[in-house]
Structure 1
Amino acid sequence: MMKKINYIIGIIIGIFFSCENETIPYYNSENDAVRFSNKINDGYGGDGIVYQSYSFVSNPWDEYVIYDIPVILIGNTSDKDRTVNYTIDTEKSTATEGSYELMEGIIPANHNEGYIRIKLYNVTGDKTYELRISIQSSDELEKGPSLYLNAALSWSNSIPTPPNTYTRITYNMLIQSPLSFSSPSISYYSPNALKTIIAAFNWNDWDNPDAHPEYPAAYKRYFTQANYKYLPHYILLNIEQSYSSFATQLGKYIEEYNSTHGTPLLHDAGTLLGQPIEARKY
């Protein structure tokens, strides 16, 4: 028994001296590195790719938007800005030439987080662009762990058609056409007209009753019935005939837009294709 104990102690001592003689790794500030986030909330998909997306639905008439993909510093902060080096995988990307513009990638001075900044131009038509981005080493920052070096950034201007009777009636309450204001038909529907409504009222949360505390509990069920982000259930516009005031506000927005831009907003689909978009008049 004593021999076994001595043997085990000998092994432990041997391991200790072996480790002592080896070079123990330590953090070296010259090897500061950078990576994308590994948090699900920041878009990490668990497959080595951080997924980022942007929709022009809420600002459909803007020419472009500046988009920042967050990056994280591994190491010590610096008293100067440091460049984040990256490349675009043109074989996996679907974004066409002229649909984006690469800007800077930096970790700002005295910060442990930074960004890769890209200008995204508005997408015409019902399509989605995507950029595949990979972090690379530079003289200032090495690339971090391989699982967190790739990102996929997509953007579009497409919008799902109102999916049910409840929201199609809402659309017809607001957009002028030969249809009755309470019609559920989408024969006069156009994506451009819906985008105009969304831009006028900044509507993108009608699937969340908590975002609209102005409606008492008795109305909450209408949010789940409609289940659509961009238009409320028509019942919510029937309260005190508020659809009339909303249509008036929409008309003012369209008039101001047309005056500012010099060209009218036009329907891009449906029976009114090519004709000016107008708010319903009551």
Structure 2
Amino acid sequence: MTRSLRVSHASVARRDPHLARGVERLLAARSGVTADPPPPPTLLPIALGSVRATSRIAVAPFCPRTPDDDALVALGGAAAAGAGLVVTPVLQAFGLASDDALVAWQRIADYVHGKGARFALRITTADAESAPLIAERAAFIGFDVLVLDAGHDPLAGEAMPATLAAARPKFKGWLGAQVHDKPAARAAVVGHAAQLVRAGADVLWVSAPSDGSARLPAAPLADRLRNELGVAIVVDGADALLPDLDAAIAAGRADMVFVRSVLVAERLRSPR
């Protein structure tokens, strides 16, 4: 039932608590968690390559694109609140161009890691030529996840498989790419995603335009990519409620959910 999101995970728990708890125990066992009762699906740990995130909630708080004190407060605050993965705003490549910027981002990375969270960099890159240096600098800073984004540049999008392949040797963490859904051209989007996986993507970061009728508009594409391509998926939670995010994990539509920090605070105050 939860795959449609017409019935949330919380609704299933109210209607059939035995079924819901059984699903949660199965998910927990797969994550190496033995607690009983198990935590909700979004609070289960997940392996990000060689490291482990303490929850499946990825948070990108509103903050500057420069590694100043305001960024430290916002990103560090998300880590302190309990985000499993703290995510930067989408940066331009020149944001990592100077040594001073590397040191400043490294300070933020150290703080985020000190709070027990993992750190992800989202960055736009136009071509394969710049990708190795970006990946090398991201690794130097200490990012655990690197997500390459072509933005709205169709040429950069077409080149993204080659860009990923060029970045792969320089980044040993979780390497991924942004996938923007285009419902009218879904087959082409899926084909492009398959190319990204063949090029070395460990994770696809899936978003979709909202039509006002779906609580989690990226879920259908996320579901298809995860189960057809066998790749890890982070799905944009948009304005979905926490029960919907739990449903996306429980139903196998995504591995992590991407939300705003206010949702993390709500979940930590009331995990059930």
The structure that is helix-richer by fraction is: 2
The structure that is strand-richer by fraction is: 1
Q: How does the TM-score come out when normalised to structure 1?
A: 0.22
- Compare CA radii of gyration and give the structure with the larger one: 1
Q: How does the TM-score come out when normalised to structure 2?
A: 0.22
